[in-house]
Amino acid sequence: MASGMQTGTRLVCALVTYLYLARILRVDQLGQYDFAATVVSWAALVAGLGIYTYGVREGAKKRDDPEELSRFASEVLVINLASTLLAYLGLAACLLFSSKLREYESLIWTRSSGIIFTTLGCELLYAIHEEHGYLALRNIRFQILSLILLLTYVKDESDLLLYAWTTVVGSAEANLINFLRLRKYCTWSLTWRFSWQKHLLPILVLFANSLVNLLYVSADVAQLGVMTSDYYDVGLYLVASKVTALLKQLLGAVIVVTVPRLACLYGQKGGEFFQKLARQIADLDFAPAAGEALATLLADLVTCLACYFLAKKSARLLPSGKKLASSLLGCLYVYLVCQAALAKGLGPGATVFWAALWAIPGYFVILYLLGNRVLLEFKRGS
């Protein structure tokens, strides 16, 4: 529930932010900002490697042993600090040798200042202990703080850099609070004397997976930014794709909450409960399917099939035809509503509002009337 509230808050704040920025900043400025953010996302990928996923997966198996968990957390934190240093060095080298990137040096360094705070925040420890309520409430607070700072200080076209700072401040403070509370969960220490190899191989495998995912998510923006002489096209493209990205975060919220529990059950050989939880998550994976662009849809389909074939040895994941049918009919309804909204010729903000007003409740009504089991289970709280 808390994770859902967090995602809902993020959606609302993001929508308000983009509607406000579209009025205050020019489209090409938004393109510049998003291009800088894409560059920083590559540095953040190097800094994070596959450490979060690996740490949650392996740490969940050790959480009942405080001494073992503290040793594991210390080793993972040191690896993360080393990868963060490597990321900053790589970013500095790119700025040094690329005149294209140097044009946006201030934006890039501002956005990248949040990477070190993310590392220090060690959010994986809170995920291991399933402190999802704390994390959600903390994130909601700082999402609202960032929005307040935006509305208070970003007033005209000259405030683009100031906008970048408002996006960093909330995240930085949230992660500092995380860092100050770490002693509640473990007694970590900075030590370089441990077997790096036992951690690095699985971390790098997960890093490769993240790399492919980031290529899929951000290669379009990076190519537009490099290939075009201005950022008008980038800005227009990002406005269209942002809604899709935000909706996908709804599914991401479910996955973040359930991965520690799945890892713990798998490690404890909790077969029946593991199978039930895995099946529920797989059912949800089909729920937010939308009338998206064909290329994105095909990419998502390939990703979904790959995940299914890799996971089918551990859990039976195929959904029933009834759930698929209800989801597809719901998506068809959403598509028709969006087309009707576009046909009205309203402004961008009014079009989004009108479409959401009719599409969201209508989609869930269709699922309910067709007896979608996922929705019924959620309604019963099971």
pLDDT in tens, 190-215: 877 888 888 888 888 888 877 776 66
Average confidence score pLDDT of the chain: 76
Q: Is the pLDDT of residue 172 over 60?
A: yes
Cα Rg of the chain (Å, integer): 22
The two tokens of residue 202 are: 């699985």
The per-residue pLDDT for range 153-163, each reduced to its tens digit, is 888 888 888 98
The pLDDT of 211-233, averaged and rounded, is: 57
What confidence tier does 292 reach under pLDDT thresholds 50, 70, 90? Answer: very low
Q: Quick check: helix, strand or coil at residue 21?
A: helix
What confidence tier does 81 reach under pLDDT thresholds 50, 70, 90? Answer: very high
Cβ-in-10-Å burial (0-12, 13-18, 19+) of 54 comes to: buried
Q: How far apart are CA 50 and CA 43, in angstroms?
A: 13
CA dihedral 82, 83, 88, 91 (to 10 degrees): 150
What confidence tier does 47 reach under pLDDT thresholds 50, 70, 90? Answer: very high
Residue 317 is predicted with a pLDDT of 58
Nearest to 327 by CA among 335, 338, 337: 335
Q: Quick check: 232 and 31 in contact, CB under 8 A?
A: yes
Residue 186 is predicted with a pLDDT of 79
Of residues 339 and 282, more confidently modeled: 339
DSSP class per residue in 213-265 = HHHHHHHHHHHHHHHSSSSHHHHHHHHHHHHHHHHHHHHHHHHHHHHHHHHHH
The pLDDT of 291-295, averaged and rounded, is: 53
26: left (phi over 0), alpha (psi -120 to 50) or beta: beta
**What's the whole-model pTM score?**
0.63
Q: Quick check: 38 and 104 in contact, CB under 8 A?
A: no
DSSP class per residue in 38-101 = HHHHHHHHHHHTTHHHHHHHHHTTTTT-HHHHHHHHHHHHHHHHHHHHHHHHHHHHHHHH-HHH
194: left (phi over 0), alpha (psi -120 to 50) or beta: beta
Q: How far apart are CA 183 and CA 166, in angstroms?
A: 29
Residue 100 is predicted with a pLDDT of 81
The per-residue pLDDT for range 87-105, each reduced to its tens digit, is 999 999 999 988 888 888 9
Q: How far apart are CA 322 and CA 328, in angstroms?
A: 10
Q: Is the pLDDT of residue 375 over 80?
A: no
What confidence tier does 334 reach under pLDDT thresholds 50, 70, 90? Answer: confident
